[in-house]
Amino acid sequence: MGIFNKLFSGSSEPKDEKILPWQELNAISQLNTIVEKSKSKTQLIFKHSTRCGISRMVMNQFVASCDLELDADLYYLDVLSFRDVSNEVGYKFQVMHQSPQLLVIKNGVVVANASHGGVNDMDLAQIV
């Protein structure tokens, strides 16, 4: 079967969809908890724009490739619904806003971050 058939087939076969253990990041107060938790376990924040096709594509690729055995907590931030939280993430962790964007937080500071296609280029197994 060609690539176009795979992409556009109307197959009704059920897909085994991977579900990540996302925690919704929707309050500024959660950032202090993330900082505290990062002292004993790596924290990841995935910033996503629900209106951006690129952001959706990167998030889908991230979900598909993310190792469920990764020893980290994973937060999902809808940057459009929670703009104040998104802005505070930038201030608190001194990272310029992008979306999609992944921040890796250890011991209260961002040790790695990437945006757009770079999110899926990160070797989280090495960073975490």
CATH code for the domain in which residue 85 is found: 3.40.30.10
Q: Is residue 79 part of a domain?
A: yes
Q: Is residue 7 part of a domain?
A: no
Please give the backbone phi and psi of residue 43, each rounded to the nearest 5 degrees, phi first: -115, 135
Q: Is residue 15 part of a domain?
A: no
| Least reliable range by pLDDT among 7-11, 107-111, 124-128 | 7-11
pLDDT band, residue 17 (cuts 50/70/90): confident
Q: Is residue 105 part of a domain?
A: yes
Q: In sequence order, which residues have a C-beta less than 8 Å from that of residue 34 and are 6 or more positions away?
A: 25, 43, 45, 73, 75, 105
The secondary structure of the chain, three-state, reads CCHHHHHHCCCCCCCCCCCCCEEECCCCHHHHHHHHHCCCCEEEEEEECCCCHHHHHHHHHHHHHCCCCCCEEEEEEECCCCHHHHHHHHHHHCCCCCCCEEEEEECCEEEEEEEHHHHHHCCHHHHC
- Count the domains in the chain: 1
Q: Is residue 10 part of a domain?
A: no
Q: Is residue 89 part of a domain?
A: yes
Q: Is residue 9 part of a domain?
A: no
Per-residue confidence (pLDDT) for residue 16, from 0 to 100: 61
Residue 107 pLDDT exceeds 90: yes
Q: Is residue 4 part of a domain?
A: no
Per-residue confidence (pLDDT) for residue 67, from 0 to 100: 83
What's the gap between Cα 92 and its chain centre?
17
Q: 94: domain range?
A: 20-127
pLDDT tens, residue by residue, 29-75? 999 999 999 999 999 999 999 999 999 999 999 898 888 788 899 99
End-to-end CA distance of the chain: 38
